[in-house]
Chain A
Amino acid sequence: MTNIAAKGEEDIVLKSARLLLGFFRLAVIFASVILILSLPIMAIFGQEILADVGEQFVNKPPVEVLWVAAGFVLVLLLIMLLSYFTIDRLRKILASVREGDPFNRTNGVRLRGMGIAIFAIQILTVVLGAAIGVIVSLLGSMKEGEQMTIHGEFGISLSGILLVLLLIVLARVFDRGADMRDELDGTI
Chain B
Amino acid sequence: MAVQVKLDDLLHDQRMTLTELAERVDITIANLSILKTGKAKAIRFSTLDAICRELKCQPGDILQYHDG
Residues of A within 8 A of B (CB): 183, 186-188
Contacts and interface: CB of A to CB of B under 8 A. Distances in A.
A183 B41 CA distance: 7
A186 B1 CA distance: 14
Contacts of B32: 188
Contacts of B35: 188
B57 interface: no
A183 B43 CA distance: 11
A114 B42 CA distance: 35
A130 to B, nearest CB: 54
Contacts of A188: 27, 31-32, 34-35, 40, 42-44, 47
A187 B44 CA distance: 7
A187 B47 CA distance: 10
A186 B43 CA distance: 8
A188 B34 CA distance: 8
Contacts of A187: 40-44
A76 B32 CA distance: 58
Contact of A186 (B27, B41, B47): B41
With a 10 A CB-CB cut-off, give which of A183, A186, A187, A188 has the most chain B CB atoms.
A188
Contacts of B31: 188
Interface in B22-42: 27, 31-32, 34-35, 39-42
B22 to A, nearest CB: 11
A43 to B, nearest CB: 62
A45 to B, nearest CB: 67
22 contacts: A183-B41, A183-B42, A186-B34, A186-B39, A186-B40, A186-B41, A186-B42, A187-B40, A187-B41, A187-B42, A187-B43, A187-B44, A188-B27, A188-B31, A188-B32, A188-B34, A188-B35, A188-B40, A188-B42, A188-B43, A188-B44, A188-B47
Nearest to A187: B42
A122 B52 CA distance: 61
Nearest to B35: A188
Contacts of B40: 186-188
A183 B42 CA distance: 8
A78 B15 CA distance: 70
A14 to B, nearest CB: 31
Contacts of B27: 188
A7 B50 CA distance: 32
